[in-house]
Structure 1
Amino acid sequence: MTTLGTQGRDVGPSEVVIRDVRLAVQAGSGAARTGGAGVAGPPVDLILRDGLIAAIEPTRYPGDRYTRPRLGGRGTATDPSDPDDGTANGTAPDSRTGTTDANGPAVFDAGGAFAFPGFVDAHVHLDKAHILDRCRGGAGLAQAVAQVRAAKRGFTVEDVRDRAARVLRRAIVNGTTRMRSYVEVDPDAGLRSFEALAALRDEYAHAVDLRLSAFAQDGTTQAPRTLGLLRRALEQGADEVGGCPYTDADPGAHVRAIFDLAVEFDVPVDFHVDFDLDPSWEHLSLVVAETRRHGWGGRTSVGHVTKLSALAPADRLAVAGRLADAGIGLVVLPATDLFLSGRDAERLVPRGVAPAVATQVPGLAMAVATNNVVNPFTPFGDADLLRMANLYAIVGQLETDDDLRSVFGMVSAAAEAIVGGARRIEVGASADVVLLDAPDPVTALRECVQPLAGWKAGRQTFLRPRPRLLADGLGRTSEAGFGEDLVDQGRPGGGR
């Protein structure tokens, strides 16, 4: 059986209609075709079918104002006497999915929420998340490296899997749909962490695309067995390879060895590099040289590069130009870099965060990412990329809408350019959709709004209904979303 769709079409019972969303479009463009960081366009309906976006149509039932999505969920209540509390098919939201199905398409009324393909975390360490309770307090980067090195000797496959899954689940409900995780492969960790994350990559594939980078955190020159273990991880399906020249006894040899593996296995490469505030020396030029030598532009990225914050503006722009010319992406890690930088300063402590937005040059791909979660490198974290982007904007003293659109892109479309891919919400694209409780990306970033729901390849992966506030002591409730009257005393019944 079929039922009439939002624009008079016949739609099949397996379809999903996400009604009344706003997409970002490039300024001056009328096309609703976006990766998520442009200016909000008019309300539209998304029709998902067979894992793809089958149609994008002007919404037939736009909300009278932005903030009134009909989001169901366990424990929420609706007023059947309220004519504005229904859905497209006149049925109540399903308590498990937030959608409706009355012999027709599942309908999700987003009420003008902002839709985009989801956040992209370009740099995270799932394998060593949530180990702070196993480590002593430290005083800087070297101590964090040493403590984690000792802790990972006790890692088991089950242990890594449980801790990493905890972060993955948080990331999914926070709207992340793509992620690149490093996994340390060396004589201390063996392949145990890789085995655990490879299993999670398959287990959570319905909700998030997880790429794994076999990573030499503790160098290779002083631990030559690491190269053989990296090779085995790549043979067993690692998607990328990564290195860390600042921990290696011979940084140049380390960078060359990691690049040799990348070329042999034809995979992208990433380096954690220049993670300090001393501009008198650097390793970034080693990465630039090898990228050029191997023609690995567009397949190389670097993380941290906190030295950029210690350079004069003209020198920063020169470095950014070299990165752009070589095709090297830059990933900024605000939480970790803030936490570990400037430990020797007694006053006027430097931020130590690469000022990427102020260093934009044409062709330079940039991202903001999570890095570590509740371990000695960063003893905080909740896998919330929108909050991380907000933190970065605050630290960078960014305030204009254009700057904030750039930052939103650094956790979405621009980050995806670094890890590989260019998803858009357009007809024929994979139906990866996340709804944010805001009308546009700038508002979402300024206010750290809540993700409301998400779909991966057309399959709903999470639902986070708005909380409801008790309007009085009699159990009447009111939606607590942005833009709503929290207590509607003027309405009969005191709100929903």
Structure 2
Amino acid sequence: MNRLPDHVDLVIRHARIDDDAPLTDIVIDAGRIVALETDWHGTAREEIDAAGRAVVPGFIEPHIHLDKAMWHRARPSVAGTLEEAIRVTADLKSRRDRTDMLVRARRVLDMAVRNGTVALRAHPDVDPIQQLLGVETMLELRDEYRDLLDLQIVAFPQEGLIKAPGTLQLMEEGLRLGADVAGGCPYNELNREDTERHIDAVFDLAQRFDVDIDMHADFADDTADARFFATAYIARRTIETGYQGRVSLGHVTSLGSLPPEQLAPLVDLLAEAHIHVVTLPATDLYLGARHDASNPRRGLTPLRALIDGGVNVAYSSNNVRNAFTPFGNADVLTIGNLLAHAAQFGTPSQQAQILAMGTVNAARAIGLASDYGVAPGRIADLVVLDTHWIADALLDIPPRTWVIKRGRITVTTHHCCEIHRAHSTEEV
């Protein structure tokens, strides 16, 4: 057994890491948690007295569109529909304003950092309209924010592949530039046959570059349009290609319309394929069921059935203040609270499941699980919440008193909030 050092970089004393356990000292050195002790007697270069506050793993946004964020004033919505959002966004993208994209994306990233997010997966559009501007901008931001959060980049074909010739080649170039994940948007094709061709092309591309896959699987209230019901096809392709555990699907809302006898075998197939489902409640609730004249549907993926069936489910903000979602502040706890209400996950155990979906489940969904969590040997990505029980996190949505990224304090909250960058401190 390795002996603990007597002097370390950071110790968080009197932390609540388990509501049923004594307060704990979290000992951190060289960016990692080296021990969890009830009364550690060593010294540290920096000390935090959590004073009984809850400490959880840093929050994760596994699905967010930074390149399209904060457009709510540039082109306000009129109808509030998905069709309008796609049309308006295409027009705004055509301006190809790199400086504007950087400014808008930084606003969201700063929000995320303040709110305790330590990693996120961004989905910049790759298409003949925007070409590679989104990927190039995200690469710049990935480097700029490297000391504050981990930024994964998805080469995302929002406009489709078959109906937008040249997009696949742009995705290839985006992956060569440094994008991490092959994206997909198979519902944005003209027919079901092209939807399947789209999916096949994404799997082929991912295999050639040995990268994970993250698709917007469907975005509909029901399964009437076959383009929006390709989940089973994706799951079978995942198994056929040996990509189990490497595919994430966003939205997956049409599954919510299926009766139990039709849903159950599909849930089993998703579990067999080890597919991660990322529900996006802010967008799905806002845009879903627009044509329901009475008793409108919630428009969410069937959370309870997926979890009970062994599918890894996470959630994320998706869009922040644009035509797809006119609200948002990149706060995982706020989205989790919204989801708990909408999905009727209110019991203590269900609230714990929601919190896990924004932390450990999200880490699994973007391939970070092996180095994530409050445990010795794991990277010290932590959030100290200004509440004294982990079970109260979704209830209080408390200030993030301290945020720690790789063992370094990045955010301190008193009456205001400071983000500590590598070489400077920015008052927010």
Q: What is the TM-score normalised by the length of structure 2? A: 0.90
Q: How does 1:470-489 map to 2 (within 5 A)?
A: none
Structure 2: how far apart are the matches of 1:104 and 1:221?
Answer: 57
Structure 1: how far apart are the matches of 2:328 and 2:280?
Answer: 12
1:162 to 103, 117, 121: 103
Equivalent AA in structure 2 for residue 293 of structure 1: E
Does residue 400 (structure 1) correspond to residue 344 (structure 2)? The answer is no
Question: Which residue pairs with 2:420 in the alignment?
Answer: none
Question: Which residue pairs with 1:245 in the alignment?
Answer: 186
Question: Which residue pairs with 2:35 in the alignment?
Answer: 55
Does residue 43 (structure 1) correspond to residue 16 (structure 2)? The answer is no
Structure 2: how far apart are the matches of 1:453 and 1:136?
Answer: 35
2:51 is paired with a residue of what secondary structure?
Answer: strand
1:108 is paired with a residue of what secondary structure?
Answer: strand
Structure 2: how far apart are the matches of 1:261 and 1:338?
Answer: 32
Does residue 447 (structure 1) correspond to residue 396 (structure 2)? The answer is yes
User: What are the Cα deviations for residues 360-386 of structure 1, in whole angstroms up to 9, with x where unaligned?
Assistant: 235411101110001100011100000
Does the aligned pair in 2 maintain the 1:174–1:451 contact within 8 Å?
A: yes
Structure 1 residue 436, shift from structure 2 partner: 1.2
Structure 1 residue 461, shift from structure 2 partner: 0.6
Identity of aligned residues (%): 36
Structure 1 residue 308, shift from structure 2 partner: 1.9
1:105 is paired with a residue of what secondary structure?
Answer: strand
Equivalent AA in structure 2 for residue 118 of structure 1: G
Query: Per the alignment, do residues 274 and 464 of structure 1 end up closer, same or farther by CA in structure 2, a change over 3 Å counting?
Result: same
Structure 2: how far apart are the matches of 1:52 and 1:263?
Answer: 32
1:56 is paired with a residue of what secondary structure?
Answer: strand
Question: Which residue pairs with 1:18 in the alignment?
Answer: 12
Equivalent AA in structure 1 for residue 134 of structure 2: S
Does the aligned pair in 1 maintain the 2:215–2:249 contact within 8 Å?
A: yes
Question: Which residue pairs with 2:203 in the alignment?
Answer: 259
Q: CA RMSD in A?
A: 1.9
Structure 2: how far apart are the matches of 1:440 and 1:182?
Answer: 34
Higher helix share: 2
Question: Which residue pairs with 2:426 in the alignment?
Answer: none
Query: Per the alignment, do residues 283 and 104 of structure 1 end up closer, same or farther by CA in structure 2, a change over 3 Å counting?
Result: closer
Question: Which residue pairs with 1:185 in the alignment?
Answer: 126
Structure 1 residue 287, shift from structure 2 partner: 1.0
User: What are the Cα deviations for residues 46-101 of structure 1, in whole angstroms up to 9, with x where unaligned?
Assistant: 1222212222210479xxxxxxxxxxxxxxxxxxxxxxxxxx9xxxxxxxxxxxxx
2:136 to 159, 177, 195: 195
1:432 to 381, 396, 400: 381
Does residue 149 (structure 1) correspond to residue 103 (structure 2)? The answer is no
Does the aligned pair in 2 maintain the 1:308–1:354 contact within 8 Å?
A: yes
Query: Per the alignment, do residues 104 and 358 of structure 1 end up closer, same or farther by CA in structure 2, a change over 3 Å counting?
Result: closer
Question: Which residue pairs with 2:58 in the alignment?
Answer: 118
Does the aligned pair in 1 maintain the 2:120–2:150 contact within 8 Å?
A: yes
Structure 1 residue 178, shift from structure 2 partner: 1.1
Equivalent AA in structure 2 for residue 169 of structure 1: D
Question: Which residue pairs with 1:70 in the alignment?
Answer: none
Question: Which residue pairs with 1:235 in the alignment?
Answer: 176
User: What are the Cα deviations for residues 123-142 of structure 1, in whole angstroms up to 9, with x where unaligned?
Assistant: 10011001122224234111
- Bigger radius of gyration: 1
Structure 2: how far apart are the matches of 1:126 and 1:41?
Answer: 39
Does the aligned pair in 1 maintain the 2:58–2:383 contact within 8 Å?
A: yes
- Give the paired residue count: 404
Equivalent AA in structure 2 for residue 421 of structure 1: L
Structure 1 residue 306, shift from structure 2 partner: 0.9
Structure 1 residue 321, shift from structure 2 partner: 1.4
Name which of structure 1's ranges 50-59 and 398-407 shifts more when overlaid on structure 2.
50-59
**Which ranges in structure 2 are unaligned for 5 or more consecutive residues?**
417-428
1:111 is paired with a residue of what secondary structure?
Answer: coil
Does the aligned pair in 1 maintain the 2:254–2:301 contact within 8 Å?
A: yes
Query: Per the alignment, do residues 451 and 231 of structure 1 end up closer, same or farther by CA in structure 2, a change over 3 Å counting?
Result: same
Q: How does 1:384-395 map to 2 (within 5 A)?
A: 384-395=331-342
Structure 1 residue 289, shift from structure 2 partner: 2.3
Does the aligned pair in 2 maintain the 1:324–1:361 contact within 8 Å?
A: no
Structure 1 residue 162, shift from structure 2 partner: 1.3
Query: Per the alignment, do residues 357 and 435 of structure 1 end up closer, same or farther by CA in structure 2, a change over 3 Å counting?
Result: farther
Question: Which residue pairs with 1:271 in the alignment?
Answer: 215
User: What are the Cα deviations for residues 371-410 of structure 1, in whole angstroms up to 9, with x where unaligned?
Assistant: 0001100011100000100100001112211111111111
Does the aligned pair in 2 maintain the 1:320–1:361 contact within 8 Å?
A: no
Structure 2: how far apart are the matches of 1:106 and 1:136?
Answer: 47
1:128 to 68, 89, 104: 68
Question: Which residue pairs with 2:425 in the alignment?
Answer: none
Does the aligned pair in 2 maintain the 1:56–1:427 contact within 8 Å?
A: yes
Equivalent AA in structure 1 for residue 199 of structure 2: V
Structure 2: how far apart are the matches of 1:314 and 1:306?
Answer: 17
User: What are the Cα deviations for residues 248-279 of structure 1, in whole angstroms up to 9, with x where unaligned?
Assistant: 12111111111111111000111112211123
Does the aligned pair in 2 maintain the 1:201–1:210 contact within 8 Å?
A: yes
Q: What is the TM-score normalised by the length of structure 1? A: 0.78
2:73 is paired with a residue of what secondary structure?
Answer: helix
Structure 1: how far apart are the matches of 2:219 and 2:309?
Answer: 24
Equivalent AA in structure 1 for residue 378 of structure 2: A
Does residue 105 (structure 1) correspond to residue 52 (structure 2)? The answer is no
Structure 1: how far apart are the matches of 2:311 and 2:284?
Answer: 21
